[in-house]
Amino acid sequence: MNPPAWAQFVLWAVAGENQAEFVAGDLHEEFLLLCAERGPSAGSRWYARQVLRSAAALVGLRFRSGEAAHLAAAALVAVAMPLVLLDRLWSFVYSHIPLKDGLARAPGFLVANVVCVCACAAVCGSLAHTRGRAAGVAVAAAVGAACALWCSTATAPWLYAGLLIVAAPVSSMAVFAWRGWR
Amino acid sequence: MPKGEALGEFEYLVMLAVLRLGAEAYGMRVRQEISVRTGRDVTIGAVYATLERLADKGLLRASMSQPTPERGGRAKRSFQLTGAGMEAANRARQDLVNMLEGLEFPLPGGTP
């Protein structure tokens, strides 16, 4: 007797190889007990419900437990992606204003970019659990910001670029330190 | 005691379950123990997230066992309290006892 294949697949997808081994073993054990007590369909329903309700916790665990590469990649994407999207949005806005297309960005737009990057980097920093991993996330956030600036369609003022590259890692480390202090 | 070292309610339940189960303290048994004793519908994900967090704090120690057929050929990860874990559990109990002292239960209008 086996649990539903789709639920097993979801479990392996969300938990990562390290955790999925133990979690799948535990669920399998209880699944067999339930099948013997209440029948296979009740066992399958219980298994699927456990997997779906555990998904968020297991994804969080995956980020926390040693998968630093995922965290660094997340920081890279979480910082670079919103910046690139904001840049495209501001380009679109400027293209609809007569005679403004191609001009330097107004300070308000640049401030919005900095605030957004700081918020994203802070979220990534809050996921790190060790100082080493937090440092990795901070570096990834800075690299993400630099990549996004490089992809930008408008010329970035030096002050803005510097502020962005410094603010991303600083906010990431600040949230990590704040969480440790709390 | 620094604020970050205090145990949350669910963390305390998990630690007590580990303490009760002894050598048999692994994810599924901890989940069942909490469900049976508290009536809560706890998920295995929440239990593992808490067990790992407590292990990161140094309150639990994890060990691996050999794969068994009833687990679909998968290994088991068991947990036991460390010295710091025992201390934290004792401290949390004492805090609770101190706070309950002088109060009468059940409270009027509530269920016991």
ipTM for the predicted complex comes to: 0.84
**Is B67 contained in some domain?**
yes
**Is B87 contained in some domain?**
yes
pLDDT value of position B37: 95
pLDDT value of position A161: 82
Q: Over the stretch A25-66, which tens digit does the pLDDT of each residue have?
A: 999 999 999 999 999 999 999 999 999 999 888 888 877 765
**Is B3 contained in some domain?**
no
Question: Is A182 in Cβ contact with B48 (below 8 Å)?
Answer: no
Peptide bond into A82 cis (omega under 30): no
Give the helix/strand (H/E) hosting B54. Answer: helix B44-56
Higher pLDDT, A79 or B89: B89
What is the number of structural domains in chain B? 1
**Is B29 contained in some domain?**
yes
User: Is the pLDDT assigned to residue A99 strictly greater than 80?
Assistant: no
Q: Mean pLDDT, chain B, as a whole number?
A: 89
User: Is the pLDDT assigned to residue A101 strictly greater than 60?
Assistant: no
Question: Is B28 in Cβ contact with A27 (below 8 Å)?
Answer: yes
Residue of A nearest to B78 (CA): A22
State how far the Cα of A52 lies from the Cα of A33, in Å rounded to an integer: 20
The CATH number of whichever domain residue B73 belongs to comes to: 1.10.10.10
Find residue B81's DSSP bridge partners: B60
pLDDT value of position A106: 73
Contacts with B97 (C-beta within 8 Å, 6 or more apart), sequence order: none
Q: Over the stretch B24-72, which tens digit does the pLDDT of each residue have?
A: 899 999 999 999 999 999 999 999 999 999 998 899 999 988 887 878 7
Q: Over the stretch A122-174, which tens digit does the pLDDT of each residue have?
A: 888 887 766 666 777 788 888 888 888 887 766 777 888 888 888 888 988 88
Percent of chain B whose pLDDT exceeds 70: 93
User: Does the beta carbon of B52 lie under 8 angstroms from any beta carbon of chain A?
Assistant: yes
**Is B44 contained in some domain?**
yes
Higher pLDDT, A25 or A107: A25
pLDDT value of position A48: 95
Q: How far is A52 from chain B (nearest CA, A)?
A: 10
Q: Report the C-alpha dihedral over residues A67, A139, A119, A126, rounded to 10 degrees.
A: 40
Residues of chain A with Cβ-Cβ distance to B3 below 8 Å are: 182
Residue carrying structure tokens 């690139």: A84
**Is B2 contained in some domain?**
no
Q: Report the C-alpha dihedral over residues B66, A35, A18, B40, rounded to 10 degrees.
A: -110
Domain that holds residue B51: 9-93
**Is B1 contained in some domain?**
no
A129 CB-side CA count, 13 A:
15
pLDDT value of position A130: 66
DSSP summary character for residue B26? B
pLDDT value of position B2: 53
Q: Give which of B30, B63, B71 to mutate to test A binding, by max A Cβ within 10 Å.
A: B71
Higher pLDDT, A141 or A69: A141
CA distances from B69 to A29, B25, B54 (A): 9, 19, 29
Full-model pTM = 0.62
* A3 and A31 Cβ atoms separated by less than 8 Å: yes
